[in-house]
Chains A and B, each alone.
Chain A
Amino acid sequence: MTAWLINLPGWIGAFVLYRLSYTADLSIFALLAMRDWVLRLVRRRRDSLRTLTTQMIFTGIDALPTVLFLALATGFIFTFRLILLMGAVGTPTDMANALVWIIGMLLGPMISAIILISRTGSAIVVDIGNMKLHREIEGLELLGININDYLVAPRIVACVLSQLAIAVLFTLVTLVSGFVFSGLLVSVTYFDDVLVLHKAITPAIVFIFVVKNLIFGYIIGTTACFHGLSVKHLPNEVPQQTQRAIVNSLIHVFMLDGIFALIVL
C-alpha cells in the first residue's frame, strides 16, 4: 500500500510527460504537413486540390446518411426530452438558450467528433498504415512525391472541413427534429418555439462553435495520419495503431472540450 502511494506521483508525472511529449510530436507533425501543402498550393498544383476533394467526398459526403440518422435519433432521445423538461420549468427563451448550449455547444460537436473518429479516423489509419506496411509510401517518396503534401495534409484539411460541416448538420437536425417530435407527439405549440432558437444563437456562440469544430477536425485528422505513418514492419501494427489513434483522438477531443468549457465560463 505504501509503495503504491509512493509510486503514484511518479505514474501521474510519467503520464503527464508522455501526453505532453506526444502532443508536441503531433503538433510538429501537423505543422510540417501543412507547411508543405500550403507551399505546394501556392505553386498552383491542381492535384493537391483534387486529393482534398476526393477525401472530402469520402469523409463528409459519404457520411451524410449516418449523420442524419444519428441526428434524428439524438433529436428524439435528447432534444425532445429536454424540450419537455425545459418547457415545464422556463420560458421558451430559456429553453432555446439551454438547447443551444447543450446541443449546439456540447453534444453536437462531441457526437460529430465521435462519428468522425470512428468512421474516418480509423479508415485513414488503416489506409495509410497498409500503404506504409507494403512500402507503397516508400515507392512514392523515391519518385520525389512529398508525402506530407500528397497524403497527409489533404486528409487533415478534409477532416477539419468535414467536422465543421457534420457538426453544423448534426446540430441543426438534432435541434429542429426535437421540436418536430415535440410538436407531433405532445403539442403543436412547440412548432412555434423553433423560431425562438435564432435569438439564442449569438455571434460569440457561432464563433466558439466554429473554432471548436475546426480544432476537433484538426486533431482527428492529424492523429489518424500520425498513427498510420507509425506502422513499421508487421501487419498487426495496423490494428494496434488504429486503436491508439481512436483512443488518443477521443482523449484529446474530451480534454479540449473541457478547456473550452473553462474558457466560456
Chain B
Amino acid sequence: MTQRAAPSISAERLVPLEWHADSMTGLTLDIRPSNVVSIIGPDYDGKLALLKALGGIQGAESGRLALFGHDGAQMTADDWQQMRTRITYVGSDTALLSVVNAIQNILLPAQYHGLDSADALLNKARNMLAMVGFSNEEALSQLPAMLTPAQRFQAALVRALLLGPQVLLLYYPAFLLDEGATAALKSYLLDRVESTGMALVVATQGRCYTESRSNFILFVSQGNIHTYENATSLRASVEPDVRRFLATLEDT
C-alpha cells in the first residue's frame, strides 16, 4: 500500500475522554494502511484512552474522528457493529467468554461472521497461535480461567486477527509475554502489516518494540501528546517528560 492510500483512521484535534480539552489542541493524525503507530509514555490511563478514542471505542471530549471515510459522529449502532470487524481492539483488559474453552473463544467471532468453514478457521487459528508464541496445545481445550494471563492475551489477539481486520489497536503490556513470545509477536505483526496492509496502532508500557518501524510515535504524558515521525526524532526531543521517560527506560 502506498503512503497516499486513503486514511483508515483520520483524527482531527481529537481529545480523549476525561482529558482537559481546554489545555490541549488534541491529536491530528491520519493513519493509513500499512502504517505503524506507537503510543508510549508513563501515563497508563492516557495511552489507553487515546488508543480507544482512535478506534471509536470510547467517545472523545472534542475533535473529529473518521473511520474509512465515515464520520464517527454520524454512524449508527449498525454501522459501528460492522466497523468492529475492520477495526479491532485487543488489550490486557479484553475478556474471553468464561464458559467456553480457549479454541472455541478464538473461533467464535469468525464463525459468527461466516468468514470460512470451521476446519479452515481452526487451521488458521492454530497457525496464528504458533506465530504469536502460543506453544501449549493442551491449553486450547482449557477454560480461560485455567490459562495464564499471557495465554489469554494471545488467545484474544488471535481471536481478533482471525477476522482479518484492516486496523489493529493493541494495548500490549510489555512484561506480559516472555522475550521469545514478544519477539515472535512483533515479527508476526510487522509481517502482517507488510503483507496485508493492516495498520497497527500499539500502546505499550515499556520500550515500544515497534519504535524502529513506526511511521508515527505518540508520546503521552499528563494529558499532552507529542508526535514524532521516527525513533531518531523521539530520542532527539528536548521535552522534559520525554527525556525523563527515555532515561527511565535506559535504567531498566
B140 CB-CB contact with A under 8 Å: no
Q: CA–CA, A127 to B93, complex, Å?
A: 20
B163 CB-CB contact with A under 8 Å: yes
Q: CA–CA, A135 to B156, complex, Å?
A: 13
Q: CA–CA, A146 to B83, complex, Å?
A: 12
B89 CB-CB contact with A under 8 Å: yes
**A interface residues, tally (CB under 8 Å):** 18
Q: CA–CA, A47 to B112, complex, Å?
A: 7
With beta carbons under 8 angstroms apart, the residue of A140, A142, A146 that contacts B57 is A142
Give min CB distance, B9 to chain A, whole Å.
16
Interface segment among B95-103, B192-200, B205-213, B233-241: the answer is B95-103
Chain A 119-150, CB-CB to B under 8 Å as 1, else 0, gives 00000000100110011101111111110001
- Give B84's nearest chain A residue, CB to CB: A144
Q: CA–CA, A141 to B57, complex, Å?
A: 10
Give min CB distance, B210 to chain A, whole Å.
22
B47 CB-CB contact with A under 8 Å: no
A146 partner residues in chain B, CB cutoff 8 A: 81
Docked-complex contact A144 and B109, CB < 8 angstroms = yes
**B interface residues, tally (CB under 8 Å):** 25
A198 CB-CB contact with B under 8 Å: no
A136 partner residues in chain B, CB cutoff 8 A: 95-98
Docked-complex contact B112 and A145, CB < 8 angstroms = yes
Docked-complex contact A143 and B95, CB < 8 angstroms = no
**With contacts A45-B112, A47-B112, A145-B112 known, is A139 near B94, CB below 8 A?**
yes
B85 CB-CB contact with A under 8 Å: yes
B94 partner residues in chain A, CB cutoff 8 A: 139, 142
Docked-complex contact A134 and B95, CB < 8 angstroms = yes
With beta carbons under 8 angstroms apart, the residue of A45, A135, A144, A145 that contacts B95 is A135
**With contacts A47-B111, A150-B112 known, is A143 near B84, CB below 8 A?**
yes
Docked-complex contact B85 and A144, CB < 8 angstroms = yes
Chain B 101-140, CB-CB to A under 8 Å as 1, else 0, gives 0000000110111100000000000000000000000000
A131 partner residues in chain B, CB cutoff 8 A: 97-98
Q: CA–CA, A135 to B57, complex, Å?
A: 14
Docked-complex contact B98 and A134, CB < 8 angstroms = yes
B93 partner residues in chain A, CB cutoff 8 A: 135
Q: CA–CA, A131 to B82, complex, Å?
A: 22
- Give A51's nearest chain B residue, CB to CB: B112
Q: List 8 A-B contacts (CB under 8 A).
A: A131-B97, A134-B95, A138-B95, A140-B97, A140-B109, A143-B88, A143-B163, A144-B83
